[in-house]
Amino acid sequence: MMRRTWLITVALLLMTFACSTITFALTLNYASVSGSTITFNGTNRTFDFPNTATYDFVISDEEGGGAAVGLQGNIGGPFTIGQITTTIIKGVVYETSTVSGSGTFSIYDDNNYTLTAAITWPAMDAIKYNKNVSSGLLNTEGTANITNIQYVGNNVDLLFLKNNQPATSIVTFQFIFPGQSLTQLATLGEMKSTTISGSLSAIPIPASALLLGSGLIGLVGLRYRRKRQD
């Protein structure tokens, strides 16, 4: 009985701590800088950020912070579009693909320090394309994982990313009309260019404490119920 009470107390403390700090989640919103482009090479089904400008993106605004607004960064590849799967749901065509390859993700602070990280794209739904058949609207989107974040500067938002990794980045590829499907982007011999907008989000470590606390309470309850049944 005493052990069960102790476990429940610990679990509740973990959950309380998690709930009190989860509000400090950070999201950086960014977009291409003037002159930068992302190139899709249909011949080898790759896309890359070729540094046509000094930087690829600039952080335009934030949710949960403010110290990183105006900082610029780069993304290095290339990344390869894999097999494309097409489905149609209520008149909307969806294309999903695997993406392979790993690259670098960098943000430069105001004191000559650089946040560096590895960027990879999840195996499923890494790039999404949909076309509303009636209006012709197009949207191409990618989800990237940001891991192995390194940073030794003192920008509080970049330190938050380092201390609460991994992070997730949602990237929208914004083609000048007409938009491009994944099939078109992977067409042999064709080259396509685009700009991007995106968000980079990190959730504090205490979020895992919330899950742990819930799990502890569940285990205690299950054990207690089994004892009663016996």
Tell me, yes or no, if the pTM score tops 0.95. Answer: no
Terminal-residue alpha carbon distance, the chain: 16
Cα–Cα distance, 93 to 37 (Å, whole number) = 26
Cα–Cα distance, 10 to 8 (Å, whole number) = 5
Per-residue pLDDT of the chain (230 residues; tens, 9 = 90+): 555 555 455 444 445 544 544 446 899 999 999 999 999 999 999 999 998 889 999 999 999 889 999 999 999 999 999 999 999 888 788 899 989 999 999 999 999 999 999 999 987 688 888 776 666 777 789 999 999 999 999 999 999 999 999 999 999 998 877 788 888 899 999 999 999 999 999 987 554 444 444 544 444 444 544 455 55
In the chain, domain spans: 1-23+206-230, 26-202
Q: What is the CA radius of gyration of the chain?
A: 22
